[in-house]
């Protein structure tokens, strides 16, 4: 206990925060008295327990329900319509097919839904529970009994305030611990974020983390950065799916061009190769658009129709046009986002394509029509060394 008091009294931001929480809770408890402080302490414990129980049940329920939801969506046979769609319809097909195909997104959606329902259910029974507690600790009962027994109200009030202060201190300790736990989660998941150095320099934080939080968290939060990267990757996969939806409608002129390019290509690989050669030699890289985005933060959105008409675009524009042309001749293709080698030892944001060869065992092959002018980037060896996808 002495060691904890010593760390608490050291003048640094985290310890000062904990002391402030304790003092405010102690003073508030003294003002409320024994009965009021007991009710607030019970309310605090109830809320904390409700959050923990809801999190555990929601996590278990989401894990159990996820495969059933996936199978149900697969059985529905949902397909993206090859037609022009409004914004609401585009959002619907992006969301529903992403929930069907992306496991982490599906788990997250189910988890949030179940957690909200459980918290709503527990919130509905709170009036009953608090009514029972209020009946056990009615305001003024002790005062009336004291007055009937002839005891001085001052003595009773002092005892009530003292007890309230003690209960307030307990409540403050709980609040301070939750604040420390929030800092622990923040530092674990975002180790290089703003203020983490100050938090890690705190003796109180280090003692709380090492003796109380680390044993409870185990390896869960130590995998926080990995989980964060997985969430970011899943978000990018949803963005990739968005391109499948908004580019579902194939303009007649693009469809005709793709048919002409692949007319002498009987296999899926030959079709994919012919389209790679055509797009790679017809679409020039739009350096002005790239420089505007890098230097000024100005992004010019363009459709595959725009890219086909102007014959220029950046990597995402080339990849989207290739995908539309490939789909028009019956190929299954996807737009992939990630980072590509820059040639000077670094990597930068990039986009390319993957095509499924249905007549060759269903394997997926990568290609990068944007880089076609610098070499053969149609399923070469070592493609993954220069192209790192966000999955």
Please give the C-alpha separations between residue 25 and each of 134, 164, 165, 176, 288, in angstroms, as whole numbers.
21, 10, 8, 10, 60
**Per residue in 267-307, pLDDT tens?**
999 999 999 999 999 999 999 999 888 888 888 889 999 99
Please give the C-alpha separations between residue 135 and each of 126, 129, 139, 192, in angstroms, as whole numbers.
14, 10, 9, 50
**Per residue in 142-175, pLDDT tens?**
444 544 444 445 445 677 788 888 888 888 888 8
Name the CATH topology of 250-389. Answer: C8orf32 fold (3.10.620)
More confident residue, 185 or 352: 352
pLDDT tops 70 at residue 237: yes
Beginning with the edge strand found earlier in the chain, give each strand of the sheet holding 332-341 in spatial order: 363-367, 347-357, 332-341, 387-389
Phi, psi of 12 (to 5 degrees): -140, 160
The whole-model pTM stands at: 0.62
Identify whether the C-beta of residue 352 lies closer than 8 Å to the C-beta of residue 319: yes
Q: Alpha-carbon Rg of the chain, whole angstroms?
A: 31
CA pair distance 149, 170, nearest whole angstrom: 31
- For the beta carbon of residue 278, count every other beta carbon within 10 angstroms: 19
Phi, psi of 276 (to 5 degrees): -60, -45
| CATH 3.10.620.30 residue window(s) in the chain | 250-389
């Amino acid at each position: 206990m002495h060691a904890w008091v010593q760390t608490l009294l050291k003048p640094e931001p985290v310890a000062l925060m904990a002391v402030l929480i304790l003092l405010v809770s102690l003073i508030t408890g003294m003002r409320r008295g024994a009965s009021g402080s007991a009710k607030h302490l019970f309310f605090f414990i109830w809320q904390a327990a409700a959050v923990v129980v809801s999190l555990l049940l929601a996590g278990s329920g989401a894990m159990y329900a996820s495969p059933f939801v996936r199978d149900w969506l697969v059985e529905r046979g949902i397909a993206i319509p090859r037609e022009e769609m409004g914004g609401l319809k585009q959002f619907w097909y992006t969301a529903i097919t992403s929930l069907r195909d992306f496991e982490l997104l599906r788990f997250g959606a189910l988890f949030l839904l179940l957690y909200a329902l459980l918290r709503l259910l527990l919130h509905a029974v709170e009036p009953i529970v608090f009514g029972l507690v209020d009946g056990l600790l009615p305001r003024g009962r002790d005062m009336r009994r004291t007055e009937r027994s002839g005891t001085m109200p001052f003595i009773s009030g002092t005892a009530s305030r003292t007890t309230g202060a003690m209960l307030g201190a307990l409540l403050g300790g709980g609040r301070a611990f939750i604040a420390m736990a929030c800092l622990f989660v923040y530092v674990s998941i975002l180790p290089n974020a703003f203020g983490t150095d100050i938090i890690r320099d705190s003796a109180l934080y280090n003692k709380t983390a090492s003796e109380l939080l680390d044993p409870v968290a185990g390896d869960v939060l130590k995998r926080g950065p990995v989980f964060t990267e997985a969430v970011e990757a899943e978000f990018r996969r949803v963005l990739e799916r968005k391109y499948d939806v908004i580019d579902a409608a194939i303009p007649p002129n693009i469809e005709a061009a793709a048919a002409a390019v692949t007319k002498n290509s009987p296999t899926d690989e030959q079709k994919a190769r012919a389209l790679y050669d055509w797009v790679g030699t017809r679409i020039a890289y739009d350096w002005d658009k790239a420089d505007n985005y890098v230097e000024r933060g100005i992004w010019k959105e363009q459709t595959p129709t725009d890219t086909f008409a102007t014959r220029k675009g950046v990597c995402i524009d080339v990849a989207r046009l290739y995908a539309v042309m490939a789909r028009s001749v019956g190929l299954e293709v996807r737009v992939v986002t990630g980072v590509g080698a820059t040639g000077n030892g670094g990597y930068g944001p990039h986009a390319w394509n993957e095509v499924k060869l249905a007549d060759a065992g269903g394997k997926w092959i990568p290609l990068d029509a944007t880089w076609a002018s610098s070499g053969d980037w149609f399923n070469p060896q070592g493609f993954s060394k220069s192209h790192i996808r966000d999955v």
